[in-house]
Amino acid sequence: MKERFRPILKPDDIYQRSFSMIEEEIGEHTFTEKQWPVVRRVIHATADFELGKSLLFHPKAVDAGRRAIGEGKGVVVDVRMVQAGVENERLLRWGNRITCRIGEEKAGKIARREGITRSMAAMRLAAGAAQGAVVVVGNAPTALIELVRLVREDRLRPALIVGLPVGFVSVTESKEMLWSLREIPTITNRGRKGGSSAASAVVNALASMVDSPAVR
């Protein structure tokens, strides 16, 4: 078998085959028709049904996200892995600028001066770009906590916040804080899992839905 194995080579065929396998294996769930393409894409990117099924959607999240992307409102991300995951033809076609400020020297300076994490400092620096945009946290819970604070203090109003940090420290707490922000559309999940691939998959799924008839 090993010597004779012939992989599927066409990207569209790989997607189609993966999506049918996911639909065969998912079993019962309560996601709506609009949410399902996002969930399916997260499962595709992670091969993790548990992570896919843990997703939580504000009722307006999918429409808010695809509208903002279709109108080129831009995407703000916490880390370079998420930036690499979303910086693709589909996002850029609609005129979206991808903003990631964690690598800037200024972020390090603010972090040291204020005694906060570099991710928090980068989120403060990105607040201007985040107005009306899709803001995505795929790694750092402290970035998400800072984001929630800025929204609560009425200093920031993104179109959608995708909050999927991953890990053991402050992660579930940061997601609970985000989920309690009912005035802003949000997508998050239950538990410690998340990560750059899941977060990018959410944004890429929303971008692929911009042209769907239901959006306008």
Closest approach of a copy of itself to the CB of residue 48, in Å: 6
Cβ–Cβ < 8 Å for 157, 168 = no
CB distance 77 to 138 below 8 Å: yes
Three-state SS for 72-89 is CCCEEECCHHHHHHHCCH
- Choice between 64 and 102, CB closer to a copy of itself: 102
Determine the Cα–Cα distance for residues 36 and 210; give it in Å rounded to an integer: 15
Q: Which two tokens stand for residue 29?
A: 């769930």
Shorter beta-carbon distance to a copy of itself: residue 68 or 120: 120
What would you report as the CA-atom Rg of the chain, rounded to the nearest whole angstrom? 17
Which of the following is catalytic: 44, 66, 67, 124?
A: 44
Pick 35 or 174: Cβ nearer a copy of itself: 174
CB of 23 to a copy of itself, least distance (A): 11
In order, the DSSP letters of 82-126 are: HHHHH-SHHHHHTTPPEE--TTSHHHHHHHHHHT--HHHHHHHHT
Is residue 118 within 8 A of residue 144, CB to CB? The reply is no
Q: Applying CB under 8 A, which residues contact a copy of itself?
A: 2, 5, 7-9, 11, 14, 17-18, 21-22, 44-48, 79-81, 83-85, 87, 115-117, 120, 141-142, 145, 166-171, 173-174, 176-177, 180, 191-197, 200
Judged by beta carbon, residue 70 or residue 195, the one nearer a copy of itself is 195
The distance of closest approach from Cβ of residue 55 to a copy of itself in the complex, given in angstroms and rounded to an integer, is 15
- Strand, helix or coil for residue 176: helix
The CB-of-60 to a copy of itself minimum distance in angstroms stands at 22
Annotation says 58 is catalytic = no
Which residue numbers are catalytic? Answer: 44
